[in-house]
Structure 1
Amino acid sequence: MCYMKSNITNSILFYLGSTILLSSCKKFVQVGDPPLGIVRSKVFDNRDTAYAAVANMYSEMMNGLKLTNGYLSKYAGLCSDELVRTSAATSVADWPFVKDSLQAADPTIKRMWADAFSIIYLANAVLEGVAGSRALSDSLKVEMAGEARFVRALSYFYLVNIFGRVPLALSTNYEETRYLPRLPEQKVYQQVITDLQMAAATLPVMRSQTDTLYAPNSRATRWAAMALLARVYLYQHNWAAAHDMAEKVITSGKFTMQGNLSEVFLKKSTETIFQLQPVTRGYNSGEAALFLPTTGKPPYAVSATLFNSMETGDARKNAWLGKDTNGPDTLYYPNKYKAKPGNSGQEYNIVLRLTEAFLIRAEASAQLGLLQGPDGAISDLNRIRSRALLPLKQETMDQASVIEVIVQERRIEFFAEWGHRWLDLKRWPSLAQQGASRLQEVMLIHRPSTWQPFLALWPIPADQLSLNDQLSQNPGYH
């Protein structure tokens, strides 16, 4: 495949061939600009520039219209039954996601695809660079390679869940990647699993808390790889492996559930396993920039069905929802991240947190029939419910009932967060229609006049189809 040659390859060549650091990356690592004219073969022959290359891989995840910069939370929320726009003045880019009218030529789709593959390109560049380095120690090479594998796996996890079959690019060689075909989801998942297994085996257990260049848990660790691997196993219905991996994260002793709900999304939250550090001055999380009102009413509100699904007394209502009463209707909007742009340094984009590990273990346990006991599905659910100040569930519940409680808890715990609801609905079976997904069931109620099953996947960008005749379009799109 072509990595969006005009937009990606040139920027990467600039990155590798001249200054290495993008301007935003200078806030990530404090090393001087390398000499002009430096070539890629030299990048990993110097410890500082090698660190800069790895830092740039992270920083690029927080630049532009990235799936990893809050936009997945917004667009997946609009696609599902989670978010609604509050006025017609909201960005025109939202319309296709709200009206179920996405097209292959949509500029947002084009950009998100391109930006995701640009991050994969950077990860591949790090893997190739450290492999050929003669200046880095073996331990540092292994560590950096583990970080690159984690980043590549994270990117491909979202790509395969959003677009379905995608090209699997494992090299920076343009001649090798320009005409790659789309591969079955299972083959992409297998590479994701391989990358995460290798990352979990080679990454450090924890980072030094004295490293002032990075916030806590803003570089990949063994636990980050394991937490993401637990999610991947869950999506693959490998219940035993998902349970085992989530349990290792939970029992590691490195993370604890934040008691105060208002502190869950702070950069020093005790339950954060992996987070992305902002690279723009005065900027915090992508979600805060997208969801918090600046003037007037908030641009997005949670849907009535989401709000009404919250149980009476659920403390997450007050802690994680903002309330706007300035108009004729009361609006409730995502308020998990509370630091608006300008209030720098309070919050980062949290990618993986301990609560998810508990819910993964609960779901895997329920599927395995492990309902009761101190580490059974019901006990894990009650940990989440207890923090939300909700009544605990009784251990007399049957398997089907426990699974439905898990569906509900994931909906409330992860709303407006990394597209969890959208992806969950696609992987859960419908209760009403044999062979259909829960997404089909929900969306026929939420948007009955516009919803069609093919909308579960987004279209392959039109420009990619024109550049690579080995690609095919997802059914239903033109």
Structure 2
Amino acid sequence: MIMKTIYNKLLLFIVIVTSVHSSCKSFLDIDPPKDSATPNEMFANDATATSAITGIYNRMGLSGAFSGNQNSISVLCGLSADELRSYSSSLDVFYKNDLPTTNTTIETRLWQEPYAYIYTANAVLDGLKSAQGVSAKTKSQLEGEAKFVRAFCYFYLVNLFGDVPLILITDYSINQQAGRSSKEDIYTQIISDLIDAENLLPSSYITTERVRPNKWTATALLSRTYLYTQKWGLAAQKAGEVIDQRTIYNIVDNLDQVFLKNSNETIWQLMPTAGSNTKEGALFILTTAPTNVALSPDFVTAFETGDNRKTKWISQFSNSTGTYSYPFKYKIRTTVNGIISEYSMVLRLAEMYLIRAEALANLQQADLALADINLIRKRAGLIIPLANLTSAQCLTEIEKQRRFELFSEWGHRWLDLKRTNRASAILEPIKSSSWNDTDVLYPIPENERARNQNIGQNLGY
């Protein structure tokens, strides 16, 4: 599991940040801690203790699974589903759903990286227990954020791999021998951590940016978790609690402004690092024929006539080799004059309406579900409201709206197809002979199984 050497490396990656400023200042602009930093030094005062958490967000934005680059969840899961098409030999295995157990991206990005963040969160929770120099207010904030981070990482681990080791301590000698915990136990822990985070975090953001979670960030992820575990009443309730915070969150009518930093639709964003705009913009926006990914032509043609998300959130590049469509939610590919205007969106309000709609439809409250569906459709430019739909018809429409609203964001389409047992029906005709029912889970990395023989492999690998 997470070995002692990985823990030592984690300490070196933590970036000292005394606050997250309203300017575009990157976490990287602050000098990192010295190699000799000890846990006692890290929790000596509010500023150094805070750096352990803000360092996680910084590392998330740099590269890998949470960054928006080619090895991110958004890209890899988009390829596994029916959103993106691969133009890279290293990404072909995700598009073809033909992943070997030795795939290094699976091992380093989708497995080791989330566990590294979990380990750091566990270390923060342990350090706060005996921290004498940290104020009570900061302790509450950091404990809430650490539990949120842990829940966030486990949410993706359990959805990508199924049963995974549940690591809640920092004793590497125990962790490296941990077996896989059931999906149900993982979700129980996620829910417990998010309820704690709700109670520990303030309703307002601790900075003028929306880059550190508040109470409603935890509530939003809790709502999604309840949806995934089919706790419909709780999913609708929690989504509604976020929607009701109208002094903080509102649907942004202008589709070009949804993904701006600190937009009113933002529940949580990651601040770009190293003086750049988003990794998503740098990767997706094409100025040449694609070398990584582009949108699937079938996806582009599936939009309803009049849907402004097609015209506002998709653009094209053409040359002698063809015409390629790409996600254009983020408008900036290369930063000019150091101006940072877009942050990477992680959680946003539109998802809360779609969660509540789906939960209400499953509770046979079609009229209420339809009101939320029509709100999302109206923002997209589909101004004629739907009416008189059954609950089953609402669910069909919600699947469609989630597909067109959340594409290229955090693997929503891939996870939706799996949790609704629709993956084989949708993907087998597209992926043909390369698709197997067992492809809904990624393989456990072979190197991890070699280090820890208590971890079994997923079916089909």
TM-score by length of 2: 0.93
Q: Which residue of 2 aligns with 1:280?
A: 274
Distance in 2, Cα, partners of 1:15 & 1:413: 35
Structure 2 unaligned spans of 5+: none
| Alignment CA distance shift 1:476-1:200 (3 Å) | same
Aligned-residue offset at 1:328? 4.9
Which residue is 2:82 aligned to?
81
Matched, 1:135 2:119: no
Kept in 1, the 8 Å contact 2:283–2:333? The answer is no
The whole-number CA distance in structure 1 between the counterparts of 2:205 and 2:50 is 15
Structure 2 CA distance for aligned equivalents of residues 128 and 14 of structure 1: 18
Which amino acid in structure 1 is aligned with residue 250 of structure 2? T
The residue aligned with 1:263 is: 257
Alpha-carbon distance change, 143 to 441 in structure 1, aligned in 2, over 3 angstroms: same
Following the alignment from structure 1 to structure 2, what is the Cα–Cα distance between the partners of residues 303 and 30?
38
**Residue in structure 1 matched with residue 362 of structure 2 by the alignment:** 367
Separation in structure 1 between the aligned mates of residue 355 and residue 369 of structure 2, nearest angstrom:
9
Superposed CA offset, 1:167-211 (max 9, x none): 0111121122111101110100100000000001110111255x5
CA apart distance, 1:29: 7.9
1:4 offset after TM fit, Å?
Answer: 5.5
For residues 55-74 of structure 1, what are the structure 2 equivalents within 5 Å? 55-70=54-69, 71-74=72-75
Mapped pair 1:450 → 2:434: yes
- Quick one: distance in 2 between partners of 1:262 and 1:298? 26
1:381 is aligned to 373
Does 2:240 match 1:240?
no
Alpha-carbon offset, residue 219 of structure 1: 0.2
Query: What is the CA deviation profile of residues 124-181 of structure 1, one whole-angstrom value per residue up to 9, with x for unaligned ones?
Result: 1111111110111222101110000011100000010001111011112112211110
Aligned to 1:126, the other structure's residue is in SS state: helix
User: How far does residue 301 in structure 1 lie from its aligned partner after superposition?
Assistant: 2.2
Aligned partner of 1:392 among 371, 384, 399: 384
| 2:424 aligns with one of 404, 420, 440 | 440
Structure 1 residue 83, shift from structure 2 partner: 0.7
What secondary structure, in the 3-state scheme, does the structure 2 residue paired with 1:280 have? Answer: coil
- Give 2:101's aligned residue: 104
2: CA distance, partners of 1:395 / 1:352: 29
Following superposition, the deviation at residue 356 of structure 1 comes to 0.3
1:397-456 CA deviation, whole Å, 9 max, x = no partner? 11111110001000000111100000000011xxxxxxxx20010011111121001110
What is the identity, as a one-letter code, of the residue corresponding to 2:57? Y
- Listed as ranges, the matches of 1:143-292 within 5 Å are 143-208=141-206, 211=208, 216-253=209-246, 254-282=248-276, 284-292=277-285
CA distances 1:104-124 after superposition (whole Å, capped 9, x unpaired): 100111112111111111111
- The alpha carbon displacement at 1:263 in A equals 0.5
Q: Once the 2 structures are TM-superposed, how far is the Cα of residue 309 of structure 1 from its aligned partner?
A: 1.4
* 2: CA distance, partners of 1:13 / 1:378: 49
CA contact (8 A) 1:201 1:222 kept: yes
Matching residue of 1:48: 47
SS at match of 1:165: coil
Tell me the SS of whatever aligns to 1:61.
Answer: helix
1:322 to 315, 328, 332: 315
Confirm or deny that 1:407 pairs with 2:402. no
- Residue 329 of structure 2 is aligned to residue 331 of structure 1: no
In 1, the alpha carbon distance for the partners of 2:26 and 2:66 equals: 21
Q: Give per-residue Cα distances to partners, 1:60-106, cap 9 Å, x unaligned.
A: 21123224544111111111111113x4xx2x320211222201100
Cα distance, 1:32 vs structure 2 = 5.7
1:329 to partner: Cα distance: 3.4
SS in 2 for 1:306: helix
- What is the aligned residue count? 449
RMSD value, Cα: 2.0
Alignment partners' CA distance in 2, 1:33 and 1:444? 48
Q: Which residue does 1:28 correspond to in 2?
A: 27
Distance verdict in 2 for CA 1:82–1:35, change over 3 Å: closer
Q: CA deviation at 1:30?
A: 7.0
User: What 5-or-longer segments of structure 1 have no aligned partner?
Assistant: 429-436
Q: Indicate the residue corresponding to 1:93 in structure 2.
A: 90
Task: Look up the SS of the partner of 1:201 in the other structure.
Answer: helix
Structure 1 residues 169 and 330: CA distance shift in structure 2, 3 A:
same
Deviates more, 1:267-276 or 1:228-237: 267-276
Q: Does structure 1 conserve the Cα–Cα contact (< 8 Å) formed by 2:235 and 2:355?
A: yes
Distance 1:285 1:304, change over 3 A: same
Separation (CA, whole Å) in 2 of partners of 1:396 and 1:94 = 43
Determine if contact 1:297/1:326 at 8 Å carries over to the other structure. no
Distance 2:445 2:267 in 1: 33
CA distance 1:20–1:258, shift in 2 (3 Å): closer
> 2:1 matched to 1:9?
no
- Taking structure 1 as the reference length, the TM-score comes to 0.90
TM-fit CA distance, 1:252:
1.5
Measured after TM superposition, the shift of residue 393 of structure 1 is: 3.5
Is 1:354 paired with 2:349? yes
